A and B are shown apart, each in its own frame.
Chain A
Amino acid sequence: MTMLSYRDAVGKALQDSMRDEPRLIIIGQNLAGHGLKQLADTYGENRVRDCSISESAMVGMAVGAAMKGWTAIVMIAYADIASVCHMAIVQSAAKLHYLANGRLNCPLIIRLPIARFRGHGPEGNEVGASWFYNVPDLNIAMPGSANEAYWSFRDALQRPTPTLFFEDRSIHTRSGEITENSSGGKAQITRSGDQLTMIAAGRTAALAEDAADQLAKEGSCGAVEVISLGFIKPLDKDTILKSASKTGRVLIIQDEPPWSGYAPYVRCLLDQLPAGKLTTAPRIIAGADQFLPYWDERPFLPSLESVVAAANELIGNKV
């Protein structure tokens, strides 16, 4: 059994991928001399490439390299910057496999660390995954644990279309076991319970686990089931519907505003359940529909308190 922090799990995924795939390159800023010095020393600066601050061209180049069978990991400094290369992600990367009628694959990873709670301000504390939710063929990973961080990264490189890898820095130090094998993109049930299903990804998956643990301590032991999605697109519909059928109550937690993203999507999915399966209307806790101030983002985002309170309400606990 290997225990790793979330941060080290991403690092190990990078190392193992570079080891296993000789035609894998990493493109980004300040890598060889700083962020990925060890990898650059091992594999050389041909494969760990320092690039000018040209996010759009970096993604476009990764697509071009994919046409020749090379896979690139594009290191974007933080998730907000996905807006700078939106065109290259949507028009060039996501569409290549489709436009070429499957004759070309584009398995690249665009690494987008979520950098909130670090004082970056409203242009540095967004998630932005939901901006891309309606782009067909685009995989979106939002790992909520070290294991998901490792395996969603490795899985993404096997897919024929690109992946946005939303790595949440706010849970970098959380540790977990790395399994021997991949779940193959399936969601993980990280807490088992029979009264309420919490569905979340990234930081909110960790939040849901903490909430389940707190509720257990407070007497609702074995009540809450937590599903960590790992990939928020495509997502594991079966695990969601099966758990919701079992518990009859659903709470979806999303770290972005609720207009789009996995929260409203999952809530729509629940309509596929036969009438009467749910004992109460599913609920969403999402980020506020506003930008987040530099001085403190937390009041506007899902919190342990808000999740525990909603869970108690749904279960019918009197607190």
Chain B
Amino acid sequence: MTATETTPDAGNRSAIEWKLYVNMLTTRLFEEALVRWEHEGKISAQTFPSKGQEAIAIGCCLALERGDAVIPSFRTRGAMVAMGITIVEQLREFIHSPLAAGDSRDAPHHASWPERGVMPGSTMIGGHLAMAAGLALAMQLEQKGEVTLAFFGDGTLGSGDLHETMHIAGIWKLPLILVCENNGWEMATPWQKVRQTQSLIPYAEPFGFATRGVDGNDALEVYNAARWARATALNGQPVFLDCMTFRAGLYSSHFGEVRGGIEQDLVQWEKRDPLKRMGEWLAAQGAATPQDLDRLRQEEERRIDESLNEVLAERTDMAKGARG
């Protein structure tokens, strides 16, 4: 078995609940490792951990189908994981492996695999949403039953491109799904200081979007909402999913925690941690014992560590080969 293969075998692992759990677990552990490796000097890229928000990217992307496209935001590592981009493939971009598909040109959180539906994002907040609408326009013209889904944080409400995109997508009825990871904070600024309501639905609805408020910490609810969104978007109405959540981790590996007075929030949201909830659900269904989940976690941790070793070795070997 190579570091890229894993076959956990407890319970019915093909059920969507398991896939949601495993993808969230991988994302959580991978991002923890990325922050650790950066602090150890093994990689140099800034990481924006999605801890506490993983259900949104993963629930949405697992609801997509072949041919669909996604444009991640800078905090949706889980989108790449759920779209089937392996840890090894992602790490190649981090360390500029000779096998990195994107040649490590884009920042690792915007790395793309276009032929597999993961498109380049943008560091310009909101800029990627117009690109998503363009993808959706091409899909509408091609009539192959494909949709485009794009992620963004609630701070993007301030970006003109979000409004321009909604304005056009609504009137053109594009097969577009906009997914807001609404964690209530614009880096260090709470939503009350920058807008009228926490929900963005009142802003999206008048543009002609079908909207749904979603518990962004419930992976199954996100998945079901995204399935509905996909069908709705293909039926001629773009969709806005407002996924309420809370960032339980750092703003980024560089900035650390920048929010003041959130101690109680962290305690409350910890109870709603999406990974923990999905694990408890699996246990309650009798699909897994706590021991199964522990073992799975250990396997994933080992696989992720091995993945870094694998790409570092690959880079060293190829450098030797080039010299030889």
The reply on B69 being an interface residue by CB < 8 A is yes
C-alpha gap A54/B123 in the complex (Å): 20
CB of A60 to closest CB in B, whole Å = 3
State whether B122 touches A91 (Cβ < 8 A): yes
> Cβ of B127 and Cβ of A60 under 8 Å apart?
yes
> Contact mask A65-100 → B, CB, 8 Å, 1/0?
111111010000000000000011001100010111
**Partner pick for A87 among B127, B134, B136, B167, CB 8 A cutoff:** B127
A72 to B135, CA, bound (A): 12
Asked if B135 and A57 make an inter-chain contact with CB atoms under 8 angstroms apart, the answer reads: no
In the complex, which of the residues A57, A65, A66, A87 contacts B165, with contact meaning CB atoms closer than 8 Å? A57
Interchain CB contact (< 8 A) of B168 among A52, A59, A65, A66: A52
- Report the bound CA distance from A186 to B167 in whole Å: 41
Is B168 in contact with A57, judged by CB distance below 8 angstroms? yes
Contact at B120–A57, with CB atoms within 8 Å? no
Contact: B102 with A54, CB < 8 Å? Answer: no
Task: Pick from B123, B124, B131: contact of A64, CB below 8 A.
Answer: B131
Residue contact B141 to A56, C-beta cutoff 8 Å = no
Q: Using known A-B contacts A87-B124, A91-B123, A101-B103, determine if residue A46 contacts B110 with beta carbons closer than 8 Å.
A: no
Q: Is the pair B137, A64 in contact by a Cβ cutoff of 8 Å?
A: yes
Q: How many A-B residue pairs have CB under 8 A?
A: 119
Q: Nearest-CB distance from B85 to chain A (Å)?
A: 14
Indicate if the CB atoms of B124 and A91 lie closer than 8 Å: yes
**When the two chains form their complex, are residues A92 and B122 in contact, meaning their CB atoms are under 8 A apart?**
yes
Residues of A within 8 A of B105 (CB): 98-99, 101
Determine the distance from Cα of A25 to Cα of B140 in the docked complex, in whole angstroms. Answer: 13
Are B133 and A57 touching (Cβ within 8 A)? yes
Task: Tell me the nearest residue of chain B to A55, going by C-beta.
Answer: B164
**B135: chain A residues within 8 A (beta carbon):** 64-65, 67-68
Residues of B within 8 A of A91 (CB): 122-124, 127
Q: What does the 1/0 interface line of B115-129 toward A look like (CB < 8 Å)? A: 100011011100111
Say yes or no for A51: interface residue by CB 8 A criterion.
yes
- Residue of A23, A65, A103 near B114 (CB, 8 A) is A103
Contact A56 B161 (CB under 8 A): yes
Q: Which residues of B contact A (CB under 8 A)?
A: 69, 101-103, 105-106, 110, 112, 114-115, 119-120, 122-124, 127-139, 141-142, 148, 160-161, 164-165, 167-168, 171
Would you list 14 pairs from A and B whose C-beta atoms are within 8 A, ordered by A residue? Answer: A54-B168, A57-B165, A60-B161, A61-B165, A64-B119, A67-B131, A68-B138, A68-B139, A88-B130, A91-B123, A92-B127, A92-B130, A100-B102, A103-B101
